[in-house]
Structure 1
């Protein structure tokens, strides 16, 4: 589709297609954000008179409560991961409550791994 023919209804139709394909709401929101930014650049470069995505309501992501594993589930996870490449990272996460990205941002030289004691 040519940029000058892109309408807000086309953007909305894209969002519907993404929902129908089963994409998570957060992914749909990210697609919308990237598209909107790209269209802003097109407006800046005078390829478009206006951004059609600006007339579309930004997709909302419903807040949800994080799901946490209980002690038994953590033990089962660590038992299943025993001998795998990332078992030490899982132990660190279980023992400290770090998020995955925080744990992966560490260098192994920064971490002293000790056996996990389940209370």
Structure 2
């Protein structure tokens, strides 16, 4: 028996801003319903943004614990940083504060979900 990962589900109070953010990073296509946005990206599991009206963003680090986070890899950290910020993400640590040993930069999506971008 084996498992395969078919989707990652992310809660958000604002479906449009959260799905648009991930779409700007990954591309692909979005199928929208009243309660879910389905982001399909070639070669990756589907990212499902689920409407959660009472969603409270994690306050990581130093506050309410995160529930799950994405780790992304890039071959151009400076361009990735600009793309994340232009798409509506925000840094959770200063740009120069790279977390060792993998050299990760830490961000949050519009709904406050933390994620890391590291060198490939």
Same fold, TM-score > 0.5, yes or no: no
Ranked by relative contact order (alpha carbons within 8 Å, sequence separation 6 or more), the top structure is 2
Larger Rg, first or second structure (1 or 2):
1
Q: Which TM-score applies when normalising by structure 2?
A: 0.20
Q: Which TM-score applies when normalising by structure 1?
A: 0.21
